Amino acid sequence: MRKLLLLLSVWLGCITVSQAQSRVITGRITDSSGVPVPAATIRIKGTKTASMADNDGKFSIKANNGDVLVFSSSGVVSQEVKVGPNTNELNIRAHYETQNLAEVTVTTALGIKRQQRELGYATSQIKTSELNQAAVVNAATGLAAKVSGVDIRLADNGVNPQVKVTFRGSRSIEGNNEALIVVDGIPVDQQYLANINPNEIDDITILKGSNAAALYGMAASNGVMLITTKKGRGRFSLTYQNTVSAERISYFPALQNTYSGYGGEGGSGPNPAGGTIYFVNPLTGTANTVPFENEAYGAPYASLDFHTDSIPIGEDQNQHWYYVPWKSLPNGRKDFFQTGVGDQNELSGGFSNKWGGLFFSGDHTTKQGVVPYDTYQRNGGRITLNANLNRLTVQVGVSYYNVSTNIAGNSYDQYRPVYWNVMNQLPSTDLKSIKDISKFQYNQGFVNAYFPNPWWQVFNSRSKSSNDNLLSNVTLSYKINSWLTATGRTGYSKTWENAPSYIDSIIFPDFIVNGGAGPLGGSSLGVFPGSQTQQQHETVKAHYDDWNTDVFLTGTKRYGDFKFNLVAGGNYRARTSWGDWYSNQYYTQQVVGANFIPSFPSKVLHSDGSADAYFSYKRYDQSVYADLTIGYDNWLFLHGSFRNDWTSILDPKNRSFSYPSVDMSAVLSDKLEFLKNSETISFLKVRLGYAGTGNVSLDGYTRLGVMGNVGAGTDNSNIPGGYTYLLPNFGAYAIYPVAGVIPGFPYGNNGGYSQSTNLVQAGLKPEHTNAEEVGFQLGLLKNRINLEVNYYDQQSSNQTIPLQASTSSGVISYTTNAGKVDNYGVEVDLSLNPVIRVRDFRFDMSGNFAYQNSKVINIAGGQAELDQINFGTTSIGGIFAIAGKSYPQIMVTDFKRDPQGRMIVDGSSGLPSLNPNPVDAGSGNYKYFLGLSPSFSYKNLTLKAVFDYRGGAKILNEQANAMDFAGIYAGDATNRQAFVVPNSVIEVSQGKFVPNTNVPITSVGGLPTAIFWWANYYNQAGAPYVTSADFWKLREVALTYAFPMKWFGKQDVLKKLDFSLIGRNLFMWRPKANNMSDPEFSTNATGNAVGYTTEFQTPPTRIFSASIRATIF
Amino acid sequence: MSPKNKNIYLLALSALIALASCTKKLDTNLHDPNGTPSSQLTGKDYFAGALVEIIFNKQGINLYNATDNYDYAHQWMGYFARNNGWAASGNQQTMEDFQLTNNFGNGVWGSLYHNIYDLNFVIANSSKGSILPGAARALRTMLFQDLVDQYGNIPYSQAENPLVTLTPVYDSATTIYKDLALQIDTALSVIQASQSTADDASDVMFNGSKTSWTQFANTIKLRILMRQVPNGDMTYVKSEIAQIQNNGGGFLSQDALVQPNFANLPTKTNPFWAAYGPGSQNYNSFCANVLMINFLDSINDPRVNYYYKPLSNGTVGGEQFGNNIYAQNGTTSTYGAGVLKNASQPGVLMLASTSLFMQAEAVQRGLLNGNAATLYQQGVEASFNFLGFSNAVATADAYMSGSTNGMVNFAASTNPLQTILYQKWIAECCIDGLEAYNDYRRTGFPFIAVPSYGAPGVPMPQRLLYPETEYTQNPVNVNAQNQTADDINTPIFWAK
């Protein structure tokens, strides 16, 4: 075929030459990433002569010298090329227009394509090239800062980080605020974003608001992310892409490197080097270094008061002590982290013809973490077949992915993450030098008595997970007649999780086992009987499946100037999940409390002391829906939809509910005369919409496992450290809380039940959201400047809230419909295409801005008298919802302060005291978002960047608080001697405060020194650890060179070759006060309680990559 | 109708049929396979659990907050202390310095109220004629008294009824105390009217014995009344005690022990063993308190080796409470075999000796008819018996008669009340620190010269502060109490 074409063009070319005037010009039109643009129109300007490109982007047209060829296509910027005497072959690189042009078609709910002009609501689209410009591993991270109103929040920095995706802020206080993810028409869990290869995605359409999402019903009250995977297109071709990356810690917390270890011990211990080590110098009364300490409140390294020039850190087999130099090593801890190397390989290919097409892809991605030996692997692929059989079109897609991670687990005692055990070493510790733990007498290779050597953990505590995911879909569309089509679509997905974790057996030295003192003093690690613990082993197994079917009719009919588009159908969705948590965590003698599976009713004890707990959930939903758009004269559109849902998880009386939506749009630039003729304004559309949606805010996850901490921890008092796996429970059975079981029961026939600490209101209703939005789209100067502005306001009432009760009421929470949230914002998307174009140089710019605010109007309702809700707190603060304030709100403990905010201290001790009422410390959610995406191209070279600013939020860095306890935070090098609290006041009489200039703190915690100010006093309050969470980030930089094909001579294989250098998260600019971590991180990984980080999130990183991409055939 | 239209209607019809066939599936979630809803359970399913819950709160690691239970009272009363090899942190430090905050005692508050909530379920949902509602009412009264004794005014009249209010108001401690006595009267009448039912199997303390429950309820009432001696309305106390004596049921003469069949199996052990036994974190974190060791040594009391495990050299050693002076390895004792017996030992809800010493004090004060010396002797015997002395009665008698010390030999005592209360303090060692702390605040016995070596000269607190959770979840009502940090020194109404 190809040869034939070539012959044809040569032949036609001959004719052209012979006729000297008119000749055939051939060529190909592709987009900026080399993908063919099918069916583009090629017109000779000023004539009716036109031609159309084929599916492969190839075209030919007869033209004369001096003719101007106009290339145009839906969604693509028109280009004009003048035919010169030597113009025979043209390769046109098309640029996609931003989507606010009249002709653009967009994907809407149920995958139905609509013209943008018809829509009365906001949508955005991201193409594969833009999504993948920085070679992301997780698709969601490729969206950050590229679309207004889309909040992508990376929860942590593990090898498989959790990403939270929300659109337009938060509507639900306690329920789910995450967008619904739909892949090729099939809803999937948000966790699926980690399973899909981003290169397989053709485009992502964001249905930001309720109107856009109304057809998806309750599942979509938070907006929908429609992911469309690639299909075969044009003639057969294969693309291979390889990306190699290197990831390094970029911002490490600020540390003090001046002082050595001392934790408040009196007394002394024998010095392995001979003599005695006095922990407090008997002559001066000052603290000497204590080698086994983690708290760095000892003597300064610069002093000479340690007995030798080295510190003992452990014994070898022959009771010889190892020593480290008596000096501070500022990078001794940071250098524990390695450069993580990643490798992504992707091969994809496909073709299409008039009968249909085929696409397939395979992905093999490996990644090392910055924590040594942490690994991630993703393997899988996808096949999509589509067939056009007369009236019937068929699409079948199947994908299968395995994502495996193997990460260092928690430590054996307090289930601490590696990062925390790294931080809790003294400034003199060179972690690299103690990697070989086998040289120590005891296999835990500990260097301080309270926190294990993190290398022990790396080698002996592992947490693995293997997640398999199958996603399949079949869509059949039958064209019943010229105006009516019936579509049936069914999708089935199944996920299997297998997550074994273990902590190996440990042999403790006798002095640890026996507790109390030893050659070097005490330890809190001495919790184990005998000389070893058994291997602790835990396995979480789970699977869940989701079967979703839609059947609907779509019809389009015209009556005169009116055009009607109708969609009507029904949906059925069935979900089940099952989980098994197995643990043999127990010690030889210790029993109660050692078995870490809480006493779930389904817990089964085995004779060897191990146990399983089983969980199973089912949920069914069904719905009917209808959607009608009436267009008048192709400029005015009125649209309405209606959906009724039935769900099994609510009480039979309340399980049926409906949502109406109505909106309209008017393309004024097509109607108003002065706009029609305007040279400046090329497009103007205004729109207005209302939608009612519901959210059954009971969806949740059941936490299985404690050992395989996945990065973000949780604040669950029953479970130390975090969790291994979140099993979706769909909110099934949530309205019927089950009785708890007292630990140890059943004994014989005695069940030992205990009432649930949660009570649920009888007749609980879904949350209801009324959403209004208005907006306009404006194209200026032939759409060179595109502006889209939206304003939305969503009021969610009937919030489903587990009201926090006084425990004296008998329960801890009462789940009820109470409360209202108002969520409003402005979104602005602006693109300048191009800003500058000078010959081959082109500079494009797009930017987006969003303001969003979620405000709690009220919480109280019915019997509830509470005005706030908390999400789980630590002793220093927590994340709350408070009537009248932004949501979510950080509340912290603070010291008592005078009206001017100065700390009130005691007139004799100089010490401040705690205010028993928590104080407001600001919003945990960002309010301002700004994304800037400049793009430069010069000939074959392009440079793209993405800047991301977020503002208006605060962050509670709990880790800084813990670091103050350990005396390792940068500020801890100060205020060790008696000192006057800066900017403090003394209350001389009620309400009268005078500045404190002369009452110093001389004693803290019963010690005759202020040395433990940071550890035992200052860190009792949370307020000092709240900083601004604002940041600027350089998220992405990608420099790509497209090799000119002529370099490869005449060959028929290689069609395209690109090479890119990519940087991700290269720079972050934060306010000076925030010297801890990435404020985007969140302990509550995918929940609502953002604004709070701990030691479970490793430090931020930057990633450098090199990528090569080749297309053949 | 054209054939094409027929297709549409057929399609619509089949869709409707498909939907209709699914409605049954919508009932799927009415029954949770992962547990049992309360609606399907009755009092007997809760009662055994509620008894064990009390043991957890009293003697084990608190169920709802692993950091605080009655450890504080045990340490303040000189029973045990922090092993100084372990640096104090958080609540321990606060507690040693007597600088209690609102974060201290959250667990005590929350778990007692939840315990009462479970007992309320038993009272409301037991089978007809069952003894459980009466027994549960007596237990509930005891727990409410424990709350008042630690916090003073507390939510009472509106408490434990979440469907009515989630934010109960606080009632005055004196009003509550009056009502507690009436509650026992009701409990007694329910117990008296009960018959033996299948519910008895869940009574893992008295196995449904009317006699024992009557004695227990009478003893709790005596405990409520004696707490008001000598600072309360003595006329009221005297008439109420007379009323108890008149009902003829008598007082507890056996240890009230909870035994659901604790066993040396994972999760099945006695909560005290689990919390403080070998292998527990506390085993090495806490040790004997030299205050008690020295006192027992001074009166040649053989129980010292039963409360504390002798060291390799045969002596017992300990730490001073609040002291940060580091003790050398191997110089401190853990709990002895009298209190830490084995993994399957029963939980102690109340000691017989507590009951007997209370009666002895009442007789001594002329509030109850009887012989104080005999009751005193029986109290000491019961203590020896509990600790597992062989020939406990004879050994105890020999201990008393062989001593000339007025703290031991009742006949030699110059201050019989003091002797009774000191022996009560000894008997409750490592078992019932809260009761000892109550007596300390009420009578000043035992005299403790240095309450905390971490805060010399600072008096021992008189109460706990309302917990932080009340300030976040019941702010209006807790703020109405106007409590300040200094209120830790404000005595409960019955204290001096």
pLDDT digits (tens, 9 = 90+) for B30-70: 888 888 888 889 999 999 999 999 998 888 764 433 345 78
Give the distance from residue B416's alpha carbon to the nearest chain A alpha carbon, in angstroms.
Answer: 38
d(CA B212, CA B192): 11
Residue of B nearest to A752 (CA): B49
B207 Cβ under 8 Å from any chain A Cβ:
no
Q: Are A84 and A65 in contact (CB under 8 A)?
A: yes
Touching A: B residues 420-449, CB under 8 Å: none
Residue A1054's DSSP bridge partners are: A1112
Residue B390: burial class (beta carbons within 10 Å; 0-12, 13-18, 19+): exposed
pLDDT beneath 70, residues of chain B: 1-23, 61-68, 84-90, 279, 281, 325-329
d(CA A239, CA A345): 11
d(CA A931, CA A827): 11
pLDDT for the residue A531: 39
Q: Minimal CA–CA distance to B52: which of B351, B269, B282?
A: B269
Asked if the Cβ–Cβ distance from A652 to B18 is below 8 Å, we say: no
A547 Cβ under 8 Å from any chain B Cβ:
no
Q: Of the ranges A15-29, A662-676, A980-994, which is most confident?
A: A980-994
Chain A residues with CB under 8 Å of B280 CB are: 527, 590, 593
pLDDT for the residue A21: 58
Asked if the Cβ–Cβ distance from B117 to A733 is below 8 Å, we say: no
Residue of A nearest to B20 (CA): A622
Quickly count: other Cβ atoms within 10 Å of residue B118's Cβ: 27
d(CA B50, CA B203): 10
Q: What is the DSSP letter of A747?
A: B
User: Encoding tokens for residue A507?
Assistant: 């042999």
Residues near B120 by beta carbon (within 8 Å), at least 6 away in sequence: A810, B136, B140, B160
pLDDT tens figures, A194-212: 889 999 999 999 998 888 8
User: Encoding tokens for residue A434?
Assistant: 């103690």
Q: Which amino acid is at A923?
A: S
Asked if the Cβ–Cβ distance from A805 to B167 is below 8 Å, we say: yes
- A355-369, A499-513, A623-637, A925-939: which range is least confident on average? A499-513
d(CA B66, CA B387): 27
Residue of A nearest to B110 (CA): A807
Chain A residues with CB under 8 Å of B480 CB are: none
pTM, 2 dp: 0.83
A745 Cβ under 8 Å from any chain B Cβ:
yes
Helix (H, G, I), strand (E, B) or coil at A34: coil
Average pLDDT of chain B, as a whole number: 90
Given a cut of 50, is residue A606 above it in pLDDT?
yes
Q: Compute the Cα dihedral for A675, A678, A680, A683 and give only its sign.
A: positive
pLDDT for the residue A678: 83
Q: Are A964 and A972 in contact (CB under 8 A)?
A: yes
Residue of A nearest to B456 (CA): A1006
Binning pLDDT at 50, 70 and 90, where does residue A175 land? confident
Q: Are strands A611-632 and A603-605 parallel, antiparallel or unpaired?
A: antiparallel
Q: Are A734 and A700 in contact (CB under 8 A)?
A: yes
d(CA A739, CA A737): 7
Give the distance from residue B363's alpha carbon to the nearest chain A alpha carbon, in angstroms.
Answer: 37
Q: At what angle do helices B106-124 and B43-59 cross, to 10 degrees?
A: 160
Q: Are strands A461-479 and A392-408 parallel, antiparallel or unpaired?
A: antiparallel
pLDDT for the residue A644: 93
Chain A residues with CB under 8 Å of B66 CB are: 593, 717
Binning pLDDT at 50, 70 and 90, where does residue A1042 land? very high
pLDDT for the residue A97: 56
Q: Which residues of B145-181 are buried (b: 16+ CB within 10 A; e: fewer)?
A: bbbbbbbbbbbbebbbebeebbbbbbbebbebbbebb
Residue of B nearest to A279 (CA): B326
- Identity of the residue in A615, A750, A811 whose CB atom sits nearest the CB atom of B48: A750
Quickly count: other Cβ atoms within 10 Å of residue A66's Cβ: 9
User: Encoding tokens for residue A212?
Assistant: 């856009």
Most B CBs within 10 A among A485, A615, A716, A806, hence the mutation to make, goes to: A806
Q: Are A23 and A31 in contact (CB under 8 A)?
A: no
B46 Cβ under 8 Å from any chain A Cβ:
yes
d(CA B450, CA B460): 9
Could you identify the residue written with the tokens 């009021």? A795
Residue of A nearest to B52 (CA): A742
pLDDT for the residue B84: 66
- Identity of the residue in B7, B103, B328 whose CB atom sits nearest the CB atom of A480: B7
Residue of B nearest to A615 (CA): B34
Instruction: Please give the radius of gyration of chain B, using alpha carbons only, rounded to the nearest integer.
Output: 26
Binning pLDDT at 50, 70 and 90, where does residue A432 land? very high
d(CA B216, CA B211): 9
Chain B residues with CB under 8 Å of A264 CB are: 87-88, 324
Which backbone phi and psi does A1064 adopt, to 5 degrees? -125, 140
Chain A residues with CB under 8 Å of B60 CB are: 592
Give the distance from residue B98's alpha carbon to the nearest chain A alpha carbon, in angstroms.
Answer: 11
Residue of B nearest to A585 (CA): B266
How far is the CA of A1018 from the CAs of A375, A630, A894, A907, in angstroms?
39, 65, 10, 18
Q: Which H/E stretch holds residue A817?
A: strand A813-817
Give the distance from residue A1061's alpha carbon to the nearest chain B alpha carbon, in angstroms.
Answer: 51
Q: Are A491 and A473 in contact (CB under 8 A)?
A: yes
d(CA A260, CA A513): 26
d(CA B447, CA B435): 15
B19 Cβ under 8 Å from any chain A Cβ:
yes
- Identity of the residue in A527, A755, A807 whose CB atom sits nearest the CB atom of B118: A755
Give the distance from residue B142's alpha carbon to the nearest chain A alpha carbon, in angstroms.
Answer: 16
d(CA A872, CA B84): 32
Asked if the Cβ–Cβ distance from B36 to A745 is below 8 Å, we say: no
- Identity of the residue in A569, A620, A755 whose CB atom sits nearest the CB atom of B38: A755
Q: Minimal CA–CA distance to B95: which of B479, B376, B454?
A: B454
Q: Are A171 and A769 in contact (CB under 8 A)?
A: yes
Asked if the Cβ–Cβ distance from B472 to A587 is below 8 Å, we say: no
CA A994 to chain centroid? 48
Q: Are strands A68-73 and A150-154 parallel, antiparallel or unpaired?
A: unpaired
Give the distance from residue A656's alpha carbon to the nearest chain B alpha carbon, in angstroms.
Answer: 10
pLDDT for the residue B17: 54
Report the percentage of chain A scoring pLDDT > 70. Answer: 88
Instruction: Please give the radius of gyration of chain A, using alpha carbons only, rounded to the nearest integer.
Output: 33
Given a cut of 80, is residue A648 above it in pLDDT?
yes
A483 Cβ under 8 Å from any chain B Cβ:
no
DSSP sequence for A862-876: TT----EEEEEEETT
Q: Which H/E stretch holds residue A278?
A: strand A276-278
Asked if the Cβ–Cβ distance from B28 to A619 is below 8 Å, we say: yes
How far is the CA of A929 from the CAs of A950, A1081, B97, in angstroms?
5, 16, 48
Q: Are B79 and B292 in contact (CB under 8 A)?
A: yes
Asked if the Cβ–Cβ distance from A265 to B61 is below 8 Å, we say: no
In total, the C-beta contacts within 8 angstroms joining chain A to chain B are: 365
B99 Cβ under 8 Å from any chain A Cβ:
no
Touching B: A residues 284-303, CB under 8 Å: 295
User: Encoding tokens for residue B21?
Assistant: 């066939």
Asked if the Cβ–Cβ distance from A1006 to B11 is below 8 Å, we say: no
pLDDT tens figures, A504-563: 876 666 555 544 444 454 444 444 433 345 667 889 999 999 999 999 999 999 999 999
Could you identify the residue written with the tokens 């049954």? B24
Binning pLDDT at 50, 70 and 90, where does residue A99 land? very low
- Identity of the residue in B4, B41, B273 whose CB atom sits nearest the CB atom of A480: B4
Q: What average pLDDT score do residues A845-865 get?
A: 80
d(CA A694, CA A765): 9
Chain B residues with CB under 8 Å of A763 CB are: none
Touching A: B residues 68-87, CB under 8 Å: 83-87
Could you identify the residue written with the tokens 């105390």? B177
Q: Compute the Cα dihedral for B265, B271, B272, B275 and give only its sign.
A: positive
d(CA B317, CA B310): 8
Q: Are A1002 and A930 in contact (CB under 8 A)?
A: no
Chain A residues with CB under 8 Å of B473 CB are: 804-807, 866
Asked if the Cβ–Cβ distance from A601 to B34 is below 8 Å, we say: yes
A738 Cβ under 8 Å from any chain B Cβ:
yes
Asked if the Cβ–Cβ distance from A569 to B15 is below 8 Å, we say: yes
Asked if the Cβ–Cβ distance from B166 to A814 is below 8 Å, we say: yes
Touching A: B residues 225-264, CB under 8 Å: 260-262, 264
Asked if the Cβ–Cβ distance from B26 to A511 is below 8 Å, we say: no
List the end-to-end C-alpha distance of chain B, in Å, as a whole number. Answer: 97
Most B CBs within 10 A among A487, A523, A745, A808, hence the mutation to make, goes to: A808
Helix (H, G, I), strand (E, B) or coil at A559: strand
Given a cut of 50, is residue A415 above it in pLDDT?
yes
User: Encoding tokens for residue B138?
Assistant: 């007596």
pLDDT for the residue A4: 45
Given a cut of 60, is residue A487 above it in pLDDT?
yes
DSSP sequence for A203-245: EEEEE-SHHHHGGGGGGGTT-EEEEEE----SS-EEEEEEEEE
Residue of B nearest to A292 (CA): B85
